Amino acid sequence: MVELLAESKTVEDTIRVESELARIREVIETMDGRSRFLADQTAMSTIVVVINSKSVSTEKGFGSEIGEAFGDAGEIMESVVAGLIRVIAALIPIAIALGIFLFGFLAMLRRRKAAKK
């Protein structure tokens, strides 16, 4: 630094050297601050490890397979019943509209028969 200042011959050169040195000091201080911040963060960090041990048998006995079959059958039955309820709920508005239409149509036919007699 002192060497650069000594080599500068004009005031402008001296000002340029000093401003460049100030900029470099600012960069160094910014990096130093960031380094301290990261060091503090890593010093206070914690690592949490959760280990679950689950005993799993690869071989299934006959009884467990039957139990699974009944469980699957119950789930399938539940799905079928839920599906039927959805279908019925979807068909109710259509049936009501169709009933109103048929009631009106039959009433109109009765009036025509009565008018012809």
Write down the domain spans for the chain: 1-50, 60-117
Distance CA 50, CA 74 (A): 35
Q: Give the per-residue pLDDT at 8.
A: 72
End-to-end CA distance of the chain: 124
Region 6-26: mean pLDDT is 85
Distance CA 22, CA 27 (A): 9
If pLDDT is split at 50, 70 and 90, which confidence band does 71 have? confident
For 29, 54, 56, the CA distances from 51, given in Å and listed in that order, are 43, 10, 15
pTM: 0.37
Mean pLDDT, rounded, of the chain: 85
Q: Which two tokens stand for residue 15?
A: 């000002």
Residue 114: φ, ψ to 5°? -65, -35
Query: Residue 17 in contact with residue 8, Cβ under 8 Å?
Result: yes
Q: Give the per-residue pLDDT at 56.
A: 55
Region 63-78: mean pLDDT is 87
Query: Residue 17 in contact with residue 4, Cβ under 8 Å?
Result: yes
Q: Give the per-residue pLDDT at 57.
A: 56
Query: Residue 8 in contact with residue 14, Cβ under 8 Å?
Result: yes
% residues pLDDT > 70 (the chain): 90
More confident residue, 86 or 117: 86
Distance CA 11, CA 14 (A): 5
If pLDDT is split at 50, 70 and 90, which confidence band does 59 have? low
Q: Give the per-residue pLDDT at 31.
A: 95
% residues pLDDT > 90 (the chain): 44
